[in-house]
Amino acid sequence: MQSGLGLRFGPLGKRTVHLCVDAQRMFAEETDWHTPWLRQVLPAIERIASSHAQRTIFTRFVPAESAAACAGTWRRYYERWPNMTLERLPADMVDLLPSLADLVPPARVFDKRTYSPWIEPGFEALLSEVETVVVTGGETDVCVLATVLGAVDRGQRVIIAADAVCSSADETYDATVTLYCSRYGAQIEVAPTSEILEAWLPT
């Protein structure tokens, strides 16, 4: 494991939320965006989400209706992935994985159209009183990265559950975790699920 892993700034207080990024069927199942690791990290995600369901927010990436409906580079993006547009993708592929969907409510769901939830109306207000975010889900180097940097920019303490995030490739996972530890050491902590749960004070 990379150096710099572990909680360094004390226990997690009552103003902590668990942000689970895009743990959806379209990434766990055999689609063009299949991320095999998601099933492997799911047990760790479930541990955190079930332990703090009332403090959990699941984001869902909702694809565009079609490439033609998009502007700029998003049009090119969906021209590359036409089977992942809503006009072709079965509607239930956008759903959370069943074991996580069972936690809603009290857990909440927030939909987004881009990598980062922070540009969506209402998301910043949803976390306005939050001091610490625990991040799980996928992918470590795409939507997790965008979510994490938005929280960093807003001055929130960010904790990434190392065994509860995933990528499509080992190389990019390792590189991104190294980036988190080496370049954002004063703002981002990377720790295993067990250490996070032990440090998260009861709410």
pLDDT exceeds cutoff 50 at 162: yes
- Looking at residues 2-24, what average pLDDT do you find? 90
Instruction: Give the model's confidence band at 201: pLDDT under 50 very low, under 70 low, under 90 confident, else very high.
Output: confident
Instruction: Give the model's confidence band at 4: pLDDT under 50 very low, under 70 low, under 90 confident, else very high.
Output: low
3-state secondary structure of 100: helix
pLDDT for position 51: 96
pLDDT for position 203: 66
pLDDT exceeds cutoff 50 at 154: yes
129 CB-contact burial (10 Å; exposed 0-12 / middle 13-18 / buried 19+):
exposed
* Structure token pair of residue 26: 């379209």
pLDDT digit string, tens, across residues 96-139:
999 999 999 999 999 999 999 999 999 999 999 999 999 999 99
pLDDT for position 169: 85
Task: Residue 131: name the closest of 187, 184, 59, 49 by CA.
Answer: 187
pLDDT digit string, tens, across residues 39-96:
999 999 999 999 999 999 999 999 999 999 999 999 999 999 999 999 999 999 999 9
pLDDT exceeds cutoff 70 at 2: no
Direct distance between the N- and C-terminal alpha carbons of the chain, in angstroms, rounded to an integer: 31
Query: Cα separation of 128 and 160, whole Å?
Result: 20
Query: Cα separation of 31 and 89, whole Å?
Result: 9
| CA torsion through residues 65, 87, 99, 159, sign | negative
Contacts with 77 (C-beta within 8 Å, 6 or more apart), sequence order: 67, 70
- The helix (H) or strand (E) run that includes residue 34 is none
CB 16 within 8 A of CB 55: yes
pLDDT for position 134: 98
pTM of the entire predicted model: 0.95
CB 2 within 8 A of CB 192: no
User: What domains appear along the chain, each with residue ranges and CATH number?
Assistant: 16-64+93-199 (3.40.50.850)
Question: Average per-residue pLDDT in the chain?
Answer: 95
pLDDT for position 1: 40
Instruction: Give the model's confidence band at 202: pLDDT under 50 very low, under 70 low, under 90 confident, else very high.
Output: confident
